[in-house]
């Protein structure tokens, strides 16, 4: 049996970073409500929006705790009634209810760890095929499907900003925007090289192949975050969009690629119907990439940025997906593994994300304490 414990910490800083102090949260919510009722707050719209976002985040977290407590009480009463009546069917229902509550509580506990500066933001996700030719392009396409399914299962929206198809199958590269609560906070744990081992459907001799693809994640930033970029440091290239989009998108050089020369960071967008729209979105993406670089620098205990952007090949992977000769997906950072490889490829990533997030937060705390 498990139970929800009341908070014990009295440190105001414990409202975030993994510990949720109920009394402190109540006081904080009262403060935010008072600020919202102040008519002068909207004299500074950016500040007002930040307050509203914080108020919504905190209120949602508190509502989740209320819901868990109520559901737990109901489930325990249901189990007690079933036990008194000796009804095994009702007892099994009560066990299922308690299991569901436990899973919700575990996810809520992990979400409390999402206290990073940009964890609550939407996310850009880049997927690039690596060594392996057509097989790797197909693998990149499978990863695109996996993250799309994960996002939709969690009520998030997905849009494609740029896509370069493979010559025979799959994709060479793709950039997604995933919008939803804590999208970046969850997805940032997926950055790195992903390795696939399987019997290739493109090999007439049915031989086993190893393929690689890289995933890069960075937060969508709004106008309240100032990123100073010298236009002279950015090279702009235009080209013909290669994806679907009708006659217009395929007949004009509407796609835009921006390259930040000092860092070598490049972004591209072709989702818009005009070069102007794609240029605006590409600038947002570039600002987001540079912001992510700054966030990486601030997290001293986190793996260095260049270590994440390693060669897409042997020795650099964060996770292996083995489909032949046995079924296993294993995260090489946390040692979390499962034999349900199809479930993972269908978007069941929470166990991997949760373990990586907990490890990341733990490493940051250890670094701060040392």
**How many helices and strands (H and E) does the chain possess?**
10, 11
Confidence (pTM): 0.67
Query: Exposed, middle or buried by CB within 10 Å (0-12, 13-18, 19+), for 96?
Result: exposed
> Could you report the per-residue pLDDT of 81-133, keeping only the tens digit for each?
888 888 888 888 888 999 889 888 877 777 777 767 788 889 999 999 987 78
Decide if pLDDT at 145 tops 90: yes
> Where would I find the H helices in 38-124?
45-85, 88-111
What CATH number labels 13-111? 1.20.58.410
How many CA atoms lie less than 13 Å away from 183 in the CB half-sphere? 26
Each domain of the chain, given as residue ranges in start order, spans: 13-111, 123-369
The C-alpha angle 71, 77, 83, rounded to 5 degrees, equals 135
Distance CA 177, CA 123 (A): 6
How many residues can be counted in the chain?
370
Q: In what order do the strands lie in the sheet with 337-338?
A: 157-165, 171-179, 123-129, 208-219, 192-199, 317-322, 328-331, 337-338
The domains spanning 13-111 and 123-369 adopt the same CATH topology:
no
CATH architecture for segment(s) 123-369: 2-Layer Sandwich (3.30)
Give 365's pLDDT tier (boundaries 50, 70, 90). low
| Max avg pLDDT among 27-36, 106-115, 313-322 | 27-36
Distance of alpha carbon 8 from alpha carbon 216, whole angstroms: 38
Q: What is the mean pLDDT of residues 279-307?
A: 72
How would residue 299 be classed by pLDDT, with cut points 50, 70 and 90?
A: low
Distance CA 56, CA 51 (A): 9
- Give the Å distances, CA to CA, from 91 to 1, 135, 187, 229, 323: 14, 49, 37, 62, 38
Average pLDDT value for residue range 186-192: 93
Q: What pLDDT shows up at residue 116?
A: 72
CA Rg, the chain, in Å?
A: 23
């Amino acid at each position: 049996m498990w139970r929800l414990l009341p908070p014990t910490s009295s440190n105001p800083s414990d409202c975030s970073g993994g510990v949720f102090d109920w009394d402190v949260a109540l006081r904080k919510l009262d403060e935010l409500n008072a600020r919202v009722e102040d008519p002068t707050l909207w004299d500074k719209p950016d500040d007002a929006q930040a307050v509203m976002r914080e108020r919504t985040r905190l209120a949602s977290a508190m509502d989740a705790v209320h819901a868990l407590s109520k559901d737990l009480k109901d489930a325990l009463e249901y189990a007690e009634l079933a036990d008194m009546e000796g009804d095994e069917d009702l007892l099994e229902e009560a066990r299922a209810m308690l299991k569901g509550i436990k899973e919700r509580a575990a996810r809520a506990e992990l979400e409390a760890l999402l206290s990073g500066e940009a964890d609550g933001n939407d996310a850009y996700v880049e997927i690039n095929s690596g060594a392996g030719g057509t097989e790797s392009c197909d693998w990149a396409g499978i990863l695109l499907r996996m993250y799309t399914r994960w996002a939709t299962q969690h009520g998030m929206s997905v849009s494609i900003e740029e896509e370069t198809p493979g010559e025979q199958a799959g994709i060479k590269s793709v950039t997604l925007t995933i919008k939803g609560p804590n999208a970046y906070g969850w997805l940032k744990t997926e950055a790195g090289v992903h390795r696939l081992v399987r019997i290739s459907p493109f090999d007439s001799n049915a031989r086993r192949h190893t393929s690689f693809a890289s995933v890069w994640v960075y937060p969508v930033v709004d106008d309240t975050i100032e990123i100073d970029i010298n236009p002279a440091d950015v090279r702009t290239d235009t080209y013909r969009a290669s994806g679907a989009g009708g006659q217009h998108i395929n007949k004009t050089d509407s796609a835009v690629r921006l390259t930040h020369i000092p860092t070598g960071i490049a972004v591209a967008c072709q989702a818009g119907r005009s070069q102007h729209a794609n240029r605006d979105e590409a600038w947002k993406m570039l600002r987001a990439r540079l912001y992510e670089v700054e966030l990486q620098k601030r997290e001293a205990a986190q793996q260095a940025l260049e270590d994440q952007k390693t060669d897409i090949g042997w020795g650099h992977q964060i996770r292996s997906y083995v489909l032949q000769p046995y079924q296993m997906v294993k995260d090489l950072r946390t040692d979390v593994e499962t034999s349900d490889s199809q479930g993972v490829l269908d978007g069941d990533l929470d166990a991997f994300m949760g373990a990586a997030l907990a490890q990341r937060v733990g490493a940051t705390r250890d670094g701060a304490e040392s």
